[in-house]
Amino acid sequence: MASGPEVAAELARKAQRIGVEVAGPAADDVDRLARFPSEAVDALRAEGFMDALVPTELGGKGASVDAVAGAVSALGRHCASTAMIYAMHLMQLACLVRHGRSAAHRDYLHELSAGQLLLASATTEIGVGGDIRTSLCAVERSDGHFRLEKQAPVISYGEQADAVLVTARRNPDSAPNDQVLVLCRREDLKLEPVSGWDTLGFRGTCSLGFRLTAEGEESAVLDDPFAQISSRTMLPISHVLWSSVWLGIAAAAIEKAGRFVRGEARKQPGTAPPSALRLAELMLEHQQLKDLVAAGVREYEARYDNPEALMAMNFAVRMNSLKVSASRLVVDIVTGALTICGMAGYRHDSPLSLGRLLRDAHGAALMVNNDRILANNAQMLLVPWDDV
Amino acid sequence: MEIDDSIRSVLAEFAKLAVDVSTLSDDDDIFDAGMTSHASVNVVLGLEEAFDIEFPQRMLRRSTFESVSAIRGAVMELVGSPAP
């Protein structure tokens, strides 16, 4: 049985290989056609990535958040859509691992590990204005079964996922914020597309809108209220893993800028080209982003098994700050790389093209809008919360 | 009890619970009853205004506001004592 650091090293090595050999070569095609990166996701499945966060006693790899964040960044260097899909899968997986304590959910984790199943999520809903802590739809229960129907403005890779975790009100009489999370398996689901996904970036995530109906065993409903799942797990791990995707995008842009500068330098060895100074300057921001993400991962891991510390306001503020800062830095870094590469970066038909990276980077501030996150922080910071 | 009435009226106004405040027992978890982080800030501010107090930072933790009895303990400690 491999120990923690060995699992991390193995994930990093395999993610790197999949990035270079599979996800990277397909990335432009995935982007152009806005198609699901099936070859990359198949490769992740084949290498056993889908159960990374499942404890070993439930048949998984038992990897740390640090290890999966590293794998996400490594993939993000080559195909941001692939990295984002894997990151979103991991977010749902973490919720299931940490909050699905019933026998039915434990059994499902075995099944997921054995079959390398892909999880998606339906947390937003048409009519709630993007607030995931509010639901209109409700779980209806009878005779040990449940039924729910949700108008979902986006379900990333909904058509490719093996199961979708869906938020809904606990029952038809519940208040909008009295939510539960329901594991809806493919065979229990009906998804009717209501909108497409033709966007600037992250085109391979295929985040179509759907009318979702699900019916199944009542045991599919997770025990913990979504309020707890959200603050203890979904919110922090989302921000850590999204930031890891963006770190991968930034690293790819830096790599292209570096290649450009080296090319210039070769023309006149002995004299550093003007762009070298720009690159040195850009590395300041790259280092900020790397350190920011690393610190976020460390802080989350330090609190991972302490519910009180996970629910502390200051921690929520810092995870929110991580997301906003990282999403700004990635745009600055890719834009800086474009300045360095000039026309070679601006062209689509150049090996140093930065078009896809720039378009993907701009999604960072919008996918959960930074204004919403800053408004949450503004509210929480009205009083000086004690640290836990 | 007067303090309890004031606490419950602040909760009714700001906690945005999924249930009616009167159904909460003194020890029921208010967060479990649907108070979000967002709402809890308004409850803190509402309590400070209602009792003319200022919670010191050491008291500004979730646990201070998780039940009516926890809030009562914190308020009683501060009522009549000068703000830090």
Q: What average pLDDT is seen over chain A?
A: 96
User: Which strand (E) or helix (H) includes residue A189?
Assistant: strand A189-195
Region A209-223 average pLDDT: 97
Mean pLDDT computed over A338-356: 97
How many beta-carbon contacts under 8 Å exist across A and B?
A: 53
What is the set of domains in chain A, with CATH numbers?
Answer: 5-118 (1.10.540.10), 120-220 (2.40.110.10), 226-380 (1.20.140.10)
In chain A the first and final C-alpha atoms are separated, in Å, by 35
Distances (CA, A) of A121 to A156, A267, B64, B82, B83: 7, 51, 34, 50, 47
pLDDT tens figures, A318-345: 999 999 999 999 999 999 999 999 999 9
Nearest CB partner across the interface for A177, out of B36, B59, B61: B36
Give every CB contact of residue B14 below 8 A, 6+ residues apart in sequence.
Answer: B39, B42, B43, B45, B46
Per-residue pLDDT at A287 exceeds 60: yes
* % chain A with pLDDT above 90: 94
Is A177 close to B19, i.e. CB distance below 8 A? Answer: no
Residue B39 CB partners (closer than 8 Å, separation 6+) = B14, B15, B16
Of A174, A231, A311, the CB nearest to B18: A174
Indicate yes or no: CB of B38 within 8 angstroms of CB of A380.
yes
Residue A167 β-bridge partners = A181
Which chain B residue lies closest to A174 (C-alpha atoms)?
A: B18
Residues of A in contact with B58 (CB under 8 A): 386
Q: Which residue of B has its CA nearest to A177?
A: B34
Q: Say if residues A352 and A341 touch (Cβ distance below 8 Å).
A: yes
pLDDT at A343: 97
- CA A275 → CA A265, A336, A340, distances in Å? 9, 11, 6
Residues of B with CB below 8 A from A385's CB?
Answer: 57, 60-61
Helix (H, G, I), strand (E, B) or coil at B22: helix
Judged by phi (left if over 0) then psi (alpha if -120 to 50, else beta), residue B53 lies in beta
The pLDDT of residue B32: 84
Of A147, A234, A232, residue with least CA distance to A184: A147
| Residue A109 zone, left/alpha/beta (φ > 0; ψ -120 to 50; rest) | alpha
CB A220 within 8 A of CB A190: no
pLDDT tens across A83-114, in order? 999 999 999 999 999 999 999 999 999 999 99
pLDDT grade, residue B81 (50/70/90)?
low
Looking at this predicted complex, what is its ipTM?
Answer: 0.87
User: CB–CB of A308 and B60 under 8 A?
Assistant: no
Q: Is B32 close to A225, i.e. CB distance below 8 A?
A: yes
> Using CB atoms, which residue from B38, B41, B58 is nearest to A383?
B41
For residue B20, the chain A residue with the least C-alpha distance is A175
Q: What does the pLDDT look like over B16-58, one tens digit per residue?
A: 987 899 999 999 999 888 898 889 999 999 999 999 999 999 9
Query: What is the average pLDDT across A124-151?
Result: 94
User: How far off is chain A from B58, nearest CA to CA, in Å?
Assistant: 6
Contact B60 A311 (CB under 8 A): no
